[in-house]
Structure 1
């Protein structure tokens, strides 16, 4: 089955559709490093490098060797800055459709109209569907109605915010998905297959979340990769924080020293993975003290980040770590894409093939080792011990300890502007 891919990036969506039996017949990507990475790992993909606004739908179809109406699916995640929650918290509001970058939605709709695939999938940050701030979603839905009027299609759209961990991905990552059928077939999102330990029971069909240990437990504790040391002002504090905790450990409500006020930093500040829990969201552009970090008190290696994103094994990179982190942090977990691609095949394309077990789900690794021992507080931080003011507001989240299995914890609680040291 054929897929046309827009805003391909490193290929997170494409890898999942590939695992479900789709061929990327044409891919469009602007970023030169991402294009070089795609050519290195998937030279068979017909790649168009450039700004989608300068690439015609006819050129995309020609590259794919297809005519309008022939593609099985159109996939893509338009750049999400106009609808980013982090942008909303830092700036007080997001520009959304007033931002010129929102034109990426228009370009997606243009290619959908001109190629008329049998089905489509559009992925974006969940800020796209915020109640009262959903101009982007309404713009897409109205655009699809216009396509139906002009092209005589019957595209129907179903949208939902999915947490990747609930489908076997060893990472908490929430994204919005819009899926539609040209023939008006309603799409039913698959029910979650995994849950937190607190929700798991023997009479529940769901499995426990896949964990960071499941994903990377077989890899070396100290990889042969440069630039994994955590530097900056706070890097030496990381060994004093337990697995699964962050800077809140060193507040009046935590178990460490009182170095910070409660909720005065980003949630991901000095955030460390726990072996027995899913990873927190891999960041695209983290600061020096922004995690998640490995339980061995270092940055995650390229291979580890690929595993946590459930990418296929053996991917190669011909670029620096900053570019690797950016591409991986911006990508969709490929296992979640595989799950959705299988459902698109079954429901919207009426394919009866038996595909067998999921190809990209990590194995369960047991036993899980005990947490790493804590280190002593370095002397250079002792002068910071004292009374520190808490964040003045309660925000949206309670003061209880969060774990990756908590529904509230699947959102990024950016309750104040970041402090940069």
Structure 2
């Protein structure tokens, strides 16, 4: 018997990263709200049956969203979305102790999500955000959401409970390091249990461990053309020709007094993603939405990643079309949630919160394991134009994030910044 088709309302849809994952888990996007014109054009091109509403969510009523979905309040199975997190200093009407007003025209993006949650009353909801939402001492956004959900329960008589946790996509089979916070809730007060990680570093696996090794960049893109005929993938700028001298999985730190190359830079004097290169046998580093000319991750063939490669690393379904330039495509892809992680969570929402005990089979969006993994690319000698930069460069003063970065070189999914001690997921 086919699995029951469930309905989702999607806010801040973007290119559809969350939606593709929920689609793979048996949900249909009945209504989607997105402001960005390029994202809307891309959604219409690839998923014309989604009920897309193009515009600012603050100008789109909850009634219009329900009408587009063909649903009444209480009927949607799930509300999903990743609101862009605005600076909360602008939301002084609640930071200063005023009552949270979900219909206030000054509402921020999180409040708009709460307004639609209140008015549509789905059986479950998922909200995704950057991990800064739960930094110690800077958790105004999280408190704002939790207080808003309590207010909704008082106003409309629901029993929404919330479980939140920071997840790294690589722990669930995504071939990319990407940390995000997820809040998941049930209208009936059912507590949600986040699934245990299914993947880890090979050296962490013991005889009794059910986890698999991380999916790698080679697993994701090893079958794609090694050198696509796309001039836009060439790396220019002052430092582009330095990439062939950096090993796979390394960055500019290779060319410091603690690396194995030439001393061209001071230790920790650049961004971590400066001249950062993928390694075939490791997950990709996080795909950036708006990188500079020397900001990676770059392909091991010393070029920018193609749109098809970024889609694979984000575990989007194959066959998507993009009628836009590479810059717009990377912005959409870099802002998206890896679809496989969304599929994993959507399946758990079905099972735990919607009472669906049917067998959904294997994950649809997980990359295959590709073996053998080729040897790393050979390094090229330092171009003559960079020799003038060789010298005794000062390290960045202080510890800063050095300890976390050092750990990240051993474990590429190590967290860097302090989070709240309680995850809400126990």
Equivalent residue for 1:330, pick from 314, 335, 338: 335
In the TM superposition, 1:8-19 aligns within 5 A as: 8-19=13-24
8 Å CA contact 2:17–2:336 kept in 1: the answer is yes
Q: TM-score, normalised by structure 2?
A: 0.91
Deviations 1:80-133 (A, max 9, x none): 353xxxxxxxxxxx8585699970001000000000000000000000011110
Q: How many angstroms apart in 2 are the aligned matches of 1:279 and 1:272?
A: 9
Alignment-derived partner of residue 312 in structure 2: 307
8 Å CA contact 1:243–1:295 kept in 2: the answer is yes
Equivalent residue for 1:405, pick from 391, 411, 414: 411
Match of 1:138, SS?
Answer: helix
Q: How many angstroms apart in 2 are the aligned matches of 1:110 and 1:238?
A: 48
In the TM superposition, 1:17-416 aligns within 5 A as: 17-80=22-85, 82=87, 95=89, 97=91, 103-398=108-403, 400=406, 402-403=408-409, 405-408=411-414, 410-411=415-416
8 Å CA contact 1:278–1:404 kept in 2: the answer is no
Q: CA deviation at 1:202?
A: 3.0
Instruction: Give the direction of change, closer, same or farther, for the CA distance of 1:386–1:206 in structure 2 (3 Å limit).
Output: same
8 Å CA contact 1:267–1:412 kept in 2: the answer is no
Flag structure 2 segments of 5+ consecutive residues without an equivalent.
Answer: 1-5, 96-104, 419-426
Q: TM-score, normalised by structure 1?
A: 0.93
Alignment-derived partner of residue 424 in structure 2: none
Q: CA deviation at 1:225?
A: 2.3
Deviations 1:136-179 (A, max 9, x none): 00000000000000000000000000000000000000000000
8 Å CA contact 1:211–1:276 kept in 2: the answer is yes
Q: How many angstroms apart in 2 are the aligned matches of 1:48 and 1:404?
A: 45
Match of 1:227, SS?
Answer: helix
Q: CA deviation at 1:226?
A: 3.1
Match of 1:198, SS?
Answer: helix
Q: CA deviation at 1:405?
A: 3.1
Alignment-derived partner of residue 85 in structure 1: none
Q: How many angstroms apart in 1 are the aligned matches of 2:145 and 2:345?
A: 20
Match of 1:278, SS?
Answer: coil
Match of 2:204, SS?
Answer: coil
Q: How many angstroms apart in 1 are the aligned matches of 2:320 and 2:411?
A: 29
Q: How many angstroms apart in 2 are the aligned matches of 1:144 and 1:230?
A: 47
8 Å CA contact 1:276–1:368 kept in 2: the answer is yes
Instruction: Give the direction of change, closer, same or farther, for the CA distance of 1:130–1:287 in structure 2 (3 Å limit).
Output: same
Q: How many angstroms apart in 2 are the aligned matches of 1:238 and 1:317?
A: 28
Match of 2:233, SS?
Answer: coil
Instruction: Give the direction of change, closer, same or farther, for the CA distance of 1:208–1:97 in structure 2 (3 Å limit).
Output: farther
Question: What is the number of equivalent residue pairs in this alignment?
Answer: 401
Runs of 4+ in 1 over 6 A off after TM superposition: 99-102
Q: CA deviation at 1:200?
A: 1.8
Instruction: Give the direction of change, closer, same or farther, for the CA distance of 1:183–1:125 in structure 2 (3 Å limit).
Output: same
Q: How many angstroms apart in 2 are the aligned matches of 1:404 and 1:364?
A: 22
Instruction: Give the direction of change, closer, same or farther, for the CA distance of 1:190–1:404 in structure 2 (3 Å limit).
Output: farther
Deviations 1:346-393 (A, max 9, x none): 000001111000000000000000000001100010000001111101
Q: CA deviation at 1:403?
A: 3.3
Q: CA deviation at 1:327?
A: 0.1
Instruction: Give the direction of change, closer, same or farther, for the CA distance of 1:367–1:334 in structure 2 (3 Å limit).
Output: same
Q: How many angstroms apart in 2 are the aligned matches of 1:386 and 1:45?
A: 57
8 Å CA contact 1:79–1:101 kept in 2: the answer is no
Q: CA deviation at 1:276?
A: 0.2
8 Å CA contact 2:11–2:34 kept in 1: the answer is yes
8 Å CA contact 1:126–1:161 kept in 2: the answer is yes
8 Å CA contact 1:280–1:404 kept in 2: the answer is no
